Structure 1
């Protein structure tokens, strides 16, 4: 995908030589993966312009010509904007990546919820003149901190969803788990499904969905291990379930057998997000530092020499 920038409701690009090999309608459908119906409506409503003039689907462009597409029409946020100092880690015309504190719901699950991360993002959009529905690309549990990716228009959301399905968005977590994990690295390939005896808990079960977690030891403490975890899949509570399954539940994670005392929330942090930008292809790598409560936990632990 070539680089694009946004002006009001329009996305703007300059065609490359490779983009001139087929009519514009085919280019949008086959190469740029826009839905067939949407492409039809864009041309029907004269919302595809080449060098400032509306064009038909059969027209072929030339390298260097400016292509404009009206793909960013104003739309409701979907939630009421909330005033909050959002911790923005990265932002451009297409993407927003923020740092979620622990204890904050990512999206409303009840009608009375007004202070979720989605509400904060809506407030940020309102302050910065973005009139787009709030679209989170992935989720974090309420008590997990760290990076969350948002799309700033519908096409970006579709492309990012596809990257996520194809496992092209690499998510890296840091987890403080109980006990000393013996192996320096490992892979947990165990299916996860609902626990029939608990409304919100998940468990490893043969009939569950495929779930794969990779882990690597970062530091060992007296009775705690700091792990770096990466996901091949994105099941609900995946790291929490897998760590509990191998006998090393997260500190503070009482739902899965973790002990409180050193910390009163699950000691899990989404530390890094890495992927190729859907518009331009450059590598986006964003990190969120450990929040203060996990820094305090780390400072309270005594590292064991190797």
Structure 2
């Protein structure tokens, strides 16, 4: 099946390159990916298994088989998985609030990964869960999962580029003084056992672009686009400015349980180049029910 293989046609300008050099320099594949596929005999030239020092000729057809036997120690669980986009390389899902993404000591089951393993098995796909992006348990919204080693490598590589955009919607306390701008403040982890982060000059560069989408009585609905991806970046930046998220028990300044039971943060938009074609994929999902209800409560108060 063509969707399970990468097919490359060698051009005249690529003649005399060694196969290893071509795959790394031209196709931007990682050394680990190339080595594993070569050892398993999953790289062929003109239908024949090829060694990595093979010297390429014009019009050679290089085939890179993406399918390999692999398993993951995650128990499949039947659950509703809200699939927003899917093809042979990636799947993008809309995670509900209160769901852990991957099993931990505290959460062995009921995670998104448990549901995805079941989903893959039901479809007869031998995929493991390769997370490209993550969300906190109480943050809802879009998450990308790679369905093979190649797409995971390509997306991880591209995440640091300007072509990869992650945008969120948040409901914050107070009306921001500026309706649009950039927060460029370093974020620091005080100690290895600290969950909480803070703005501190000793921290890593952290950049968040913001735009107020709607104003309410003493609160705003804010769009936030990440230029960097530090842990709790949006929550730390907004709290530092005096506008913590509604429901944020870690960084918030007041008890919002009457309004919402988790931080009002939703990953609503993704834009990224497809790992195989390079064409941009743009996806959006609307606000979840609890944030819609939060806005209604704010407007009624």
TM-score for the superposition, normalised by structure 1: 0.88
Change beyond 3 A, Cα 1:66–1:289: farther
Q: Is the 8 A contact 1:50 1:61 kept in 2?
A: no
SS of equivalent to 1:148? strand
* Structure 1 position 108 matched with structure 2 position 99: no
Q: Is the 8 A contact 2:97 2:137 kept in 1?
A: yes
Instruction: Determine the structure 1 residue equivalent to 2:56.
Output: 60
User: What CA deviation, in whole Å up to 9, does each residue of 1:187-216 have, x standing for no partner?
Assistant: 111111224598421111111111111100
Change beyond 3 A, Cα 1:38–1:139: closer
User: What CA deviation, in whole Å up to 9, does each residue of 1:251-278 have, x standing for no partner?
Assistant: 1112112541221210000001101112
Selected match of 2:223 from 208, 211, 228: 228
Aligned ranges 1:92-103 → 2 under 5 Å: 92-103=87-98
Q: Is the 8 A contact 2:33 2:149 kept in 1?
A: no
Q: Is the 8 A contact 2:174 2:218 kept in 1?
A: yes
* Cα root mean square deviation, aligned: 2.5
* Structure 1 position 12 matched with structure 2 position 9: no
User: What CA deviation, in whole Å up to 9, does each residue of 1:228-271 have, x standing for no partner?
Assistant: 00111111111011100000000111211254122121000000
Instruction: Determine the structure 2 residue equivalent to 1:76.
Output: 71
Instruction: Determine the structure 2 residue equivalent to 1:125.
Output: 120
Q: Is the 8 A contact 2:74 2:113 kept in 1?
A: yes
Instruction: Determine the structure 1 residue equivalent to 2:133.
Output: 138
Distance across 1 between alignment mates of 2:32 and 2:250:
46
User: What CA deviation, in whole Å up to 9, does each residue of 1:28-71 have, x standing for no partner?
Assistant: 122223344653564465432234333344242544x6532233
Q: Is the 8 A contact 2:33 2:150 kept in 1?
A: no
Change beyond 3 A, Cα 1:107–1:44: closer
SS of equivalent to 1:278? coil
SS of equivalent to 2:150? helix
Aligned ranges 1:124-203 → 2 under 5 Å: 124-196=119-191, 199-203=194-198
User: What CA deviation, in whole Å up to 9, does each residue of 1:126-151 have, x standing for no partner?
Assistant: 11222232110121111000000111
Instruction: Determine the structure 1 residue equivalent to 2:201.
Output: 206
Aligned ranges 1:214-293 → 2 under 5 Å: 214-258=209-253, 259-260=255-256, 261-293=258-290
Distance across 2 between alignment mates of 1:52 and 1:262:
62
Shift of 1:78: 3.5
Distance across 2 between alignment mates of 1:28 and 1:147:
31
Q: Is the 8 A contact 2:6 2:66 kept in 1?
A: no
Task: Using the TM superposition, name which of 262-271 and 293-302 deviates more.
Answer: 293-302
Distance across 2 between alignment mates of 1:162 and 1:133:
19
Distance across 1 between alignment mates of 2:35 and 2:221:
52
SS of equivalent to 2:299? coil
Distance across 2 between alignment mates of 1:275 and 1:197:
32
5+ residue gaps, structure 2? none
Distance across 2 between alignment mates of 1:121 and 1:18:
43
SS of equivalent to 1:26? helix
Change beyond 3 A, Cα 1:55–1:231: same
Change beyond 3 A, Cα 1:45–1:175: closer
